[in-house]
A and B are shown apart, each in its own frame.
Chain A
Amino acid sequence: MSFLQLDTIKKTYGDVSVIKGVSFAAAKGEFVVFVGPSGCGKSTLLRMIAGLEDVTEGHLYIDGKDVTYEEPAKRELSMVFQSYALYPHMSVFENMAFGLRMAKVPEAEIKTRVTEAARILHLEPLLDRKPRALSGGQRQRVAIGRSIVRHPKIFLFDEPLSNLDAELRTQMRVEIAKLHRDLGTTMVYVTHDQVEAMTLADRIVVLRAGLVEQIGTPTELYDRPANTFVAGFIGSPKMNFIKASVTGVGSGSLTLANPSFVGGTLSVETVSTGRVKAGDTVIVGLRPEHLELNAAQPLLSLTLDFAENLGGATQLYSRSEGDIVAIVVHGRPDVKPGDTLRVGIEGRHIYLFDANGLAL
């Protein structure tokens, strides 16, 4: 049996349904990331696992035991909050020791565990300080340390890096990844940042409006998104979508028409053509980083609107029939707004979705 299992979990507040039936299982030691836009229910789901929110319907199992109605403290989980939630009147040591003291762990054992956690997180010189005398990154470390010392079955993280500045966020992201590698504990991590999701997760659960859109490894979600929502959410900058009409259906290939295509049409190889017929609309997905400028065999002809110089790379925003197509190129191409760009892409990087946004 899985270590953490959610069985058609639902949550409603009065008439408002927030989680509409989420089922999911994680293996022991797995790093699972819940990702989705604001209001998708990812934090609510995490809080239900923690026991801070009641489950309206469905069941929750941890380590084979039904904990749906178990008190939070008895679930043996620990959680790192977005605001860190440190006890302001306790020193760093006391903050980390509090849970152990409540669990009546012998004082010598507490000292050993806290010292060990402090060593891992480089908090040793700060043990006597109060949280208000710490920087954001240090507070975050203490919050993580407080979680570590209890040797929980599962670590829960609720957007832990969103209050940190960009540089610190990257640094802490790496530290959390290392921590997972060293401790091997199951972790469930909530974020709206797809970069955090991609870099940290063994598996990602993409949520939208209380429902699971797709579950898979970062690579699976990037390479084979189930629909346009996942395709647009995973990857940065987000995937370009161009609407095209189907003019011909061959065996294993489609001919699509859109004025942006060089010559007006584009032939795409695809595994499944069964669902589409001539005259249907399909959505063509192109990742900005896959598009090539001045390709030998250009597929798109676009007009450059605006260019952003990122130093090592340049982001080009071009127009195609009302759609904006972003392109990421290395270096600084010699182009200016109004120029016609002839853009190519390898056939295997073209994503196709039907009119409802589902992958073909």
Chain B
Amino acid sequence: MRETTVKPNRGYGRWTPFWFLAPAVLTLFVIGIYPTIFALVTSFRQYNIARPREGFPFVGFDNYINVLSDSTFWASLLLTARFYITVLPIQLVLGLIIALLLHKPGLGLLKSLARVVLVVPLATTYAVVGLIGRLIFNREFGVANQFLDVVGIGGIDWLGSQGGAFAAIVIMDVWQWTPFCALILLAGLSMVPGEIEEAARLETRSKLAMLRYVQLPFLLPSLTAILIMRSADVLKLFDMVFVMTRGGPGSATDLVSIYIQRVGFRIFDLGTASAQAILLLILTILISRLYIRVLYREVN
């Protein structure tokens, strides 16, 4: 009698999932994993490409010790922290107001339109935001000064003064990232079941009490996400600021990633720059863990 085994389906074998995943894994490896490993290895070497004759010897934790005792690094890190705690409250408050307005029932078409408009700043490249910022805050023909002229305040040298340059990058960051906060918070607000809001409306007239006791608990996951993404983003914020101020004037906008870029690609001390970058990565992870531990609560 002939064997009646079913012919294996040639379309799908044990390697099929591998081939589907391979392009993504390969891309991730090339642009993510390899550079990170390279940076990690480099951070333990003396690696100045301006002085290739000295070679790239292994120096242990020397780079890290240098970085941690470098007052400029600490200053730039502190400035970054200052930038973060300046922009974040503004973005959260404005974002929350926008989200609450969009969460109100009614105005169907306008609301959909507003949501589309909110995506525009997010879809804008950092460098372009920087260019727009340079135009807006130009001393001679910028919109900012024209606007202030109307109110009777004249001729602020935005990008030429220490305070002005810091304010300018804060304003541009708020412009770009407030919509992000608004959209995430709006998504959080829509997680609150309608009947729970209605039950609260029967018990209190206060919109503030509603926000504090009923809506806020549902917003905690969104807030955690915003804090993590914004802190990671501010720590690596480079293009917008670089295009607008190049870290100046003086060190007024010398955020940590701008300083690292200078060490890496002006002084060409890749070893030190890598150590700085790795420390930044560790800091980001630590901050994220902290947020999750302190803030994150699932309501249900």
A103, B204: Cα distance in complex, Å:
7
Assess whether B213 is interfacial by the CB under 8 Å rule. yes
A50 touches B202 (CB 8 A): yes
* CB-based nearest A residue for B300: A88
The answer to the question of A278 belonging to the interface, with a C-beta cut-off of 8 Å to chain B, is no
B297 on the A face (CB < 8 A): yes
Known contacts A88-B299, A98-B213, A102-B209: A78-B202 contact under CB 8 Å: yes
- What's the nearest-Cβ distance from chain B to residue A346, in Å? 47
**Stretch of A25-33, A66-74, A167-175 lying at the B interface:** A66-74
Residues of A within 8 A of B195 (CB): 81-83, 85
CB < 8 Å: which of A75, A81, A85, A132 contacts B300?
Answer: A132
List A contacts of B201 (CB < 8 A).
51-52, 71-73
- A215 on the B face (CB < 8 A): no
Would you list which residues of chain A between 39 and 63 have a CB under 8 Å from chain B?
50-52
Which residues of chain A are near B193, meaning CB under 8 Å?
83, 85
B16 at the interface (CB under 8 A from A): no
Interface string of B213-226 (1 = CB under 8 A from A): 11001000000000
Q: Which of B196, B203, B217, B300 contacts A102 (CB 8 A)?
A: B203
List chain A residues, Cβ under 8 A from B209: 102
Task: Tell me which residues from 102 to 118 in chain A have a Cβ below 8 Å from any Cβ of chain B.
Answer: 102-103
- In the complex, the answer to whether B299 meets A99 with C-beta atoms within 8 Å is no
| A98-B213, A102-B209, A132-B300 as given contacts; A87 in contact with B202, CB under 8 Å | no
Shortest CB distance A67–B (Å): 13
User: Is there contact, CB below 8 Å, between B214 and A73?
Assistant: no
Report the minimal beta-carbon distance from B278 to chain A, rounded to whole angstroms.
39
Given A52-B198, A83-B195, A85-B198, A73 and B300 touching (CB < 8 A)? no
Residue from A77, A83, A88, A132 within 8 A of B202 (CB atoms):
A77
- Checking B196, B204, B206, B300 against A99 with a beta-carbon cut-off of 8 angstroms, the contacting residue is B204
A89 and B297 contacting across the interface, CB-CB below 8 Å = yes
Report whether B217 and A89 are in contact in the complex, using a CB–CB cutoff of 8 Å: yes
Complex Cα spacing A98 to B210, Å: 11
**A79 CB-CB contact with B under 8 Å:** yes
Compute how far the CA of A77 lies from the CA of B193 in the bound complex, rounded to whole angstroms: 21
* Chain A residue with the shortest CB-CB distance to B210: A102
**B199 adjacent to chain A (CB < 8 Å):** yes
Write out the residue numbers on chain B whose beta carbons fall within 8 Å of the beta carbon of A52.
198, 201-202
> From residue B18, how far is it (CB to closest CB) to chain A in Å?
41
Interchain CB contact under 8 A, B199 and A73 = no
Can you list, as one digit per residue, whether each of B172-197 has a CB less than 8 Å from chain A (1) or not (0)?
A: 00000000000000000000010110
**Contact in complex: A71, B217 (CB < 8 Å):** no
Cβ-based interface call for B104 (8 A): no
A99 to B204, CA, bound (A): 7
B206, closest chain A residue (CB): A102
Nearest chain A CB to B188's CB is how many angstroms away?
Answer: 14
Q: Is A150 positioned at the interface, with any CB of B under 8 Å from its CB?
A: yes
B204 contacts across to A, CB distance below 8 A: 73, 99, 102-103
Interface residues of B in 198-248 (CB under 8 A from A): 198-206, 209, 213-214, 217
Centre residue among A50, A78, A98 by max chain B CB count within 10 A? A98
Which residues of B, 246-300, contact A by the 8 Å Cβ criterion?
297, 299-300
For the complex formed, measure the closest distance between the CB of B299 and the CB atoms of chain A, giving whole angstroms. Answer: 5
Minimum CB–CB distance for B129 against chain A, Å: 38
A52 to B299, CA, bound (A): 24
Interchain CA distance A72-B199 in the complex, whole Å: 10
> Which chain A positions have C-beta within 8 A of B205?
71, 73-74
Chain A 150-164 against B: per-residue CB contact (8 Å), 1 yes, 0 no?
100000000000000
The smallest C-beta distance from B89 to any residue of chain A, in angstroms, reads 24
Which of B196, B198, B206, B297 meets A87, CB within 8 Å?
Answer: B196
Say yes or no: B199 contacts A85, CB within 8 Å: yes
The digit string for A262-305, where 1 denotes a CB below 8 A from any CB of B, is: 00000000000000000000000000000000000000000000
Residue pair B203, A150 in contact (C-beta under 8 Å): yes
List chain A residues, Cβ under 8 A from B213. 87, 98
Contact assessment for B203 and A81 in the assembled complex, using a CB-CB cutoff below 8 Å: no
Contacts of B297 in A (CB 8 A): 89
The interface residues of chain A lying within 8 Å CB-to-CB of B196 are: 85-88
Distance in Å: Cβ of B155 to nearest Cβ of chain A: 50
Contact yes or no, A89 B299, CB < 8 A: yes
Listed residue (A50, A51, A72) with the most chain B CB atoms within 10 angstroms of its CB = A72
- Residues in A with CB closer than 8 Å to B206 are 102
Residue in A75, A81, A103 with the greatest tally of chain B CB atoms within 10 Å: A81
CB closest residue in chain A, given B199: A85
Smallest CB-CB separation from B217: which chain A residue? Answer: A89
Closest residue on chain B to residue A50 by CB atoms:
B202
* Nearest CB of B to A62, in Å: 13
Contact A98 B203 (CB under 8 A): yes
- Structural contact, A99 and B203, CB atoms closer than 8 A: yes
Which residues of the partner chain B approach A73 to less than 8 Å between Cβ atoms? 201-205
**Hey, which chain B residues are within 8 Å of A99, CB to CB?**
202-204
Of B202, B217, B299, the residue contacting A79 (CB under 8 A) is B202
The answer on a CB contact under 8 Å between B198 and A81 is yes
- Quick one: closest B residue to A150, CB to CB? B203
Given contacts A87-B196, A89-B217, 9 further A-B contacts (CB under 8 A): A51-B201, A72-B201, A73-B205, A75-B202, A81-B198, A89-B297, A102-B204, A102-B209, A146-B199
Q: Which residues of A contact B (CB under 8 A)?
A: 50-52, 71-75, 77-79, 81-83, 85-89, 98-99, 102-103, 132, 146, 150
Sample (26) of A-B pairs whose CB atoms are under 8 Å apart: A51-B201, A52-B198, A52-B202, A71-B201, A72-B198, A72-B201, A73-B201, A73-B202, A73-B205, A75-B202, A78-B202, A79-B202, A81-B198, A81-B199, A83-B195, A85-B195, A86-B199, A87-B196, A87-B199, A87-B214, A88-B300, A89-B299, A102-B203, A102-B206, A146-B199, A150-B203
Q: A-B pairs with the 10 shortest C-beta distances?
A: A99-B203, A102-B204, A85-B195, A85-B199, A89-B217, A73-B205, A81-B195, A72-B201, A72-B202, A85-B196
